[in-house]
Structure 1
Amino acid sequence: MDYKQMEQSLKALSDETRMLILKYLSKEALCICEFTELLEMTQPAISQHMRKLKQAGLICEEKRGRWTIWSLNKDHALFSVLTALLDMLPEPERTVESLIAEGKKVNCS
């Protein structure tokens, strides 16, 4: 990893919404539609955050039909540092379990 790559990774981490997205992804892989419910944001807004995280190499995407499932990039040079930082953050107020309880969990398979 060079200085520019480190800068790009740290900039991607320097946003509360992106930190929340990464915290959710540290638990399980999710699609955009789940983030719209969890973060109460529009799909285009979340897509912009995902683009920045992907450009930094912090997340991976997997196409499943018309759905894109996102996960943490376990091969990223800062993966162990990232997970240690995410472990320091409190759990988000909304969880995937709360979506299930509310009947708002989308099946993206």
Structure 2
Amino acid sequence: MSDQEDILGTAAEWLGQGETVALATVVETWGSSPRPAGSQLAVTASGRMAGSVSGGCIEGAVAEVAQKTMQDGQPQLLDFGISDERAWEVGLACGGKLKVFVEKLV
């Protein structure tokens, strides 16, 4: 079973338990990116999380947007990036970008 299947299964289980759930999916990467396109993070309104879209460096920001998306139902496309010049400051060998799509599951 792949990581993606695990996340989707967990999200489905949470939905079945009556939780409100949002799913964040990496849809595009460029340069240094800790997780590949297709990586997912499931978030519940009660604060449960499963999976990863970045190895931890942007999960908090994505979880905040997921909370808003669960409230208003509006999907969002998030754009994160760091320049080559600033990459060393956060422990990356080079800069990179990623786009994350956040949607409420129903």
TM-score by length of 1: 0.29
TM-score scaled by structure 2?
0.30
- Higher normalized helix content (fraction of residues): 1
